[in-house]
Amino acid sequence: MSARTPPADGASRAAGFASTQWSVIKEARTDSAGRRAALETLCAAYWAPVYAYLRRRGHHPADAEDLTQGFFLELLEGDFLDRSDPAKGRFRGYLIGALRYFLGTHFEQERAVKRGGRVQSIEWSAPEAEREFAALDRPDSDPSAVYEKSWALTLLARALHRLGEEQTAAGRGRAFAVLRPFLSMTPTRGDYDRAAGELRTTRANVAVWVHRLASRYAELVKLEVAATVLDPAEVKHELLHLMQALRS
């Protein structure tokens, strides 16, 4: 990661980036061979917001795990996705609507039992999901607000993970590991100097690298948000919504 090396063009790096959630659903409808793999990836990515919503509605951790798993299995095996219409809303809205429908049609404990109890068919980390929920939860929190905030955090995490993959692929994994904290906090006196010493470079270089990482991170967040809407014109509104959800 050289301070003299200009950053790659954001548009070219974005080429081939993840398909939108709606396009994954569309492809899954027509490609029976790849349907489950595509939807499992999608479900695993948004496991945390659904789990957080269920926990805030009063379900105990074990029950919330079963319900979340049952919900996503229903998406995989049922016709929810075949009946979805991207023209009717954003992906996060579709997902929470599908979840409410799932709960309202009495799929809860009966489905969990019929599917063999707490058998995992989609990869996820229950302890991590519970830790995330605990960090979000407040006595006066509305379940929908918790869902929205968890959704926003999930988008940020996906963008940060992608950024880490890019940096590692470019041979800058070590620098990214050291500089990553600066993407979510304001450096205090001496922080850049310590990072420079660890990376055996100058403070000026650290400042440049952090700026470039932050810029690319912002690009990737925007791409993640764009992947949840059908109309690119809605991206700006969704970004504002994401920021509001994080502040709630």
Give tens-digit pLDDT for 140-165: 678 888 888 888 888 888 899 999 99
Q: Are residues 157 and 172 in the same domain?
A: yes
Q: Are residues 100 and 192 in the same domain?
A: no
* Structural domain count of the chain: 2
Alpha-carbon distance 24 to 35, whole Å?
9
Which of residues 26 and 112 earns the better pLDDT score? 26
The set of residues, in sequence order, having a beta carbon less than 8 Å from that of 41 and lying 6+ positions away, is 24
Q: Which tokens sit at 150?
A: 């968890």
Residue 177 has pLDDT above 70, yes or no: yes
pLDDT number for residue 121: 54
Q: Are residues 169 and 221 in the same domain?
A: yes
Q: Are residues 28 and 130 in the same domain?
A: yes
| Domain that residue 228 falls in | 139-248
User: Does residue 244 lie in a domain region?
Assistant: yes
pLDDT number for residue 135: 63
Q: Are residues 112 and 180 in the same domain?
A: no
Q: Are residues 23 and 133 in the same domain?
A: yes
- Residue 23 — pLDDT band, cuts 50, 70, 90? low
Q: Are residues 122 and 219 in the same domain?
A: no
- Residue 30 — pLDDT band, cuts 50, 70, 90? low
- Residue 213 — pLDDT band, cuts 50, 70, 90? very high
Give tens-digit pLDDT for 38-91: 667 777 777 888 888 898 888 888 888 888 888 887 777 766 656 655 555 677
Residue 111 has pLDDT above 70, yes or no: no
- The pTM (predicted TM-score) of the whole model is 0.65
Q: Are residues 40 and 114 in the same domain?
A: yes
Q: Are residues 97 and 150 in the same domain?
A: no
Residue 107 has pLDDT above 60, yes or no: no
Of 111, 137, 163, which marks where a domain is finished?
A: 137
